[in-house]
């Protein structure tokens, strides 16, 4: 990102816990991405041309400072500054490089340090109920269970109709994010994402936990993207090394006798019969480890879910588009209608995809604002 006054971007630095603004500073060489179901990242460089700016930049403290990337009047990204690097080159020019991650990353730095009483509806972690209620309970416990944990993430009231039972033990040191991901990965699971936006009523910045079962969806109409047209480039990678036609999930060891060999609990093998017997795929085996799971039925459900997501070859299409007034701010979860006509798609591709990841490249050195969209076929 460039620093001229007419740049459409601003980097807003805030106190993580109170969200009070510390400063608005120029940020160069920015890369920023965001995804459904995992933390996104931001990296950039703050120029430090003089002592006055240095005094302002010193207010950025790793682990307790939030940063927002604002384009025009819209918030496009928000997260936590985790690391920084102060550098001086041979000419004595000072810069501070920062690396940040979306607010989901905070849940990865917090550990569950309490034992869940089984089926106790009054316990703060809500060990039994709708899976989305449990997901919210994890975030609520993270923020309100102990002093200093509240980072201002708010919640909705989404439901899924899928009931789960969970348990956690003090001493296992399970990260809240790992617990959330494990819950979301179960068969008939859900997706989670923390979105940032400006409240239209009062102008306050909002950090909001979004939950969707089975998926997060945004908007009611398709975003139509064409090539030739808005689409600058595209890529359709197909990777059979990440896919398979069978899957097995392994869990915790069930052997209490330390004198004998320890063996993990295993699920039954899920098989993509349709791919093997009808589509002609060879047998290719997938496996995964879940060391905290002791229930065979849960492991079998995980194996089926993993096979459904990686059956055959894994395909995650990517397209690059110019950011203009036709491209909305809230892209994650939105359905895009992709229309391409070229030498490969001679008869024209016309397919619908859901946007599951976004990587924004702000304008610099004569290049326009662009966004790389990661897609999932719907």
| Burial per residue of 326-335, b for 16 or more beta-carbon CB atoms within 10 angstroms, e otherwise | ebeeebbbbb
Cis upstream peptide for 240 (omega within 30°): no
Distance CA 96, CA 27 (A): 10
Distance CA 73, CA 14 (A): 17
In this predicted structure, what is the pLDDT of residue 1?
Answer: 37
Query: 108-212: what fold?
Result: Phage tail protein beta-alpha-beta fold (3.55.50)
Tokens 């910045």, residue located: 205
Give yes or no for a contact between 205 and 79, defined as CB atoms under 8 angstroms apart: no
Distance CA 96, CA 89 (A): 12
CA distances from 155 to 25, 179, 214, 304, 370 (A): 30, 18, 18, 30, 31
Single out the residue of 354, 52, 1 nearest to residue 212, CA to CA. 354
3-state helix, strand, coil in the chain (%, to 5): 15, 45, 45
DSSP letters spanning 3-68: -STT-SEEEEEEETTT--EEEEE--EEEEEEEESSS--EEEEEEEE-SHHHHHHHTT--TTTEEEE
Distance CA 111, CA 145 (A): 12
The C-alpha angle with vertex 336 and arms to 210 and 182, in degrees rounded to 5, equals 35
Kindly report whether the global pTM for this prediction surpasses the value 0.85: yes
CB proximity list for 214: less than 8 A, separation 6 or greater? 188, 189, 190, 191
The SS3 of residue 165 is strand
Give yes or no for a contact between 293 and 314, defined as CB atoms under 8 angstroms apart: no
In this predicted structure, what is the pLDDT of residue 119?
Answer: 38
Query: 9-102: what fold?
Result: Phage tail proteins - horseshoe like beta roll fold (2.30.300)
Give, for all 378 residues of the chain, the pLDDT tens digit. Answer: 333 444 568 899 999 999 999 999 999 989 999 999 999 999 999 999 999 999 999 999 999 999 999 988 889 999 999 999 999 999 999 999 999 999 999 999 999 988 765 434 445 555 678 999 999 999 999 998 889 999 999 999 999 999 998 888 888 899 999 999 999 998 899 999 999 999 999 999 999 999 999 999 998 899 999 999 889 999 999 888 889 999 999 998 876 666 667 788 999 999 999 999 989 999 999 999 988 788 888 899 899 999 998 888 888 899 999 887 667 888 999 999 999 999 999 999 999 999 999 999 887 666 788 899 999 988
Return the bridge partners of 210, or none.
193
Residue extents of the structural domains in the chain = 9-102, 108-212, 218-237+316-377, 240-314
Distance CA 104, CA 19 (A): 16
- Same fold across 9-102 and 218-237+316-377: yes
In this predicted structure, what is the pLDDT of residue 361?
Answer: 84
Give yes or no for a contact between 52 and 70, defined as CB atoms under 8 angstroms apart: no
Q: What is the CATH number of domain 218-237+316-377?
A: 2.30.300.10
The SS3 of residue 90 is coil
In this predicted structure, what is the pLDDT of residue 5?
Answer: 40
Single out the residue of 132, 38, 25, 26 nearest to residue 79, CA to CA. 38
In this predicted structure, what is the pLDDT of residue 7?
Answer: 53
In this predicted structure, what is the pLDDT of residue 4?
Answer: 40
In this predicted structure, what is the pLDDT of residue 245?
Answer: 95
């Amino acid at each position: 990102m460039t620093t001229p006054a007419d740049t459409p971007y601003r980097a807003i630095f805030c106190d993580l816990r109170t969200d009070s603004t510390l400063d608005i500073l120029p940020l160069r060489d920015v890369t920023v991405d965001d995804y459904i179901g995992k933390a996104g990242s931001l990296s950039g460089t703050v120029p430090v041309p003089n002592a006055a700016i240095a005094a302002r930049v010193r207010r950025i403290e790793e682990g307790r400072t939030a940063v927002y990337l604002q384009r025009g009047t819209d918030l496009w990204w928000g997260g936590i500054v985790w690391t920084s690097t102060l550098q001086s080159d041979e000419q004595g020019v000072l810069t501070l490089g920062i690396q940040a991650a979306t607010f989901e990353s905070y849940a990865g730095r917090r550990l569950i340090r309490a034992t869940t009483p089984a089926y106790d509806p009054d316990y703060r972690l809500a060990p039994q109920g709708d899976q989305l209620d449990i997901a919210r309970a994890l975030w609520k416990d993270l923020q309100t269970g102990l002093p200093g944990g509240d980072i201002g993430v708010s919640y909705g009231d989404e439901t899924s109709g899928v009931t789960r039972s969970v348990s956690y033990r003090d001493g296992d040191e399970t990260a809240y994010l790992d617990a959330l991901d494990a819950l979301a990965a179960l068969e008939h699971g859900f997706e989670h994402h923390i979105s940032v936006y400006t409240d239209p009523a009062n102008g306050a910045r909002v950090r909001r936990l979004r939950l969707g079962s089975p998926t997060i969806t945004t908007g009611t109409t398709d975003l139509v993207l064409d090539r030739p047209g808005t689409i600058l480039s595209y890529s359709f990678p197909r990777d059979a090394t990440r896919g398979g036609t069978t899957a097995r999930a392994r869990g915790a060891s069930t052997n209490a006798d330390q004198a004998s060999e320890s063996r993990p609990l295993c699920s039954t093998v899920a098989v993509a019969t349709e791919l093997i017997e009808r589509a002609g795929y060879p047998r290719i085996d997938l496996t995964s480890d879940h060391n905290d799971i002791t229930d065979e039925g849960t492991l079998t459900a995980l194996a089926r879910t993993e096979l459904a997501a990686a059956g055959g070859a894994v395909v995650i299409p990517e397209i690059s588009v110019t950011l203009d007034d036709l491209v909305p701010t809230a892209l994650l979860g939105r359905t895009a209608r992709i229309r391409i006509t070229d030498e490969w798609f001679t008869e024209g591709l016309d397919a619908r995809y859901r946007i599951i990841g976004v990587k924004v490249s702000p304008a610099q050195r004569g290049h326009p604002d662009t966004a790389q969209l990661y897609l999932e076929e719907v």
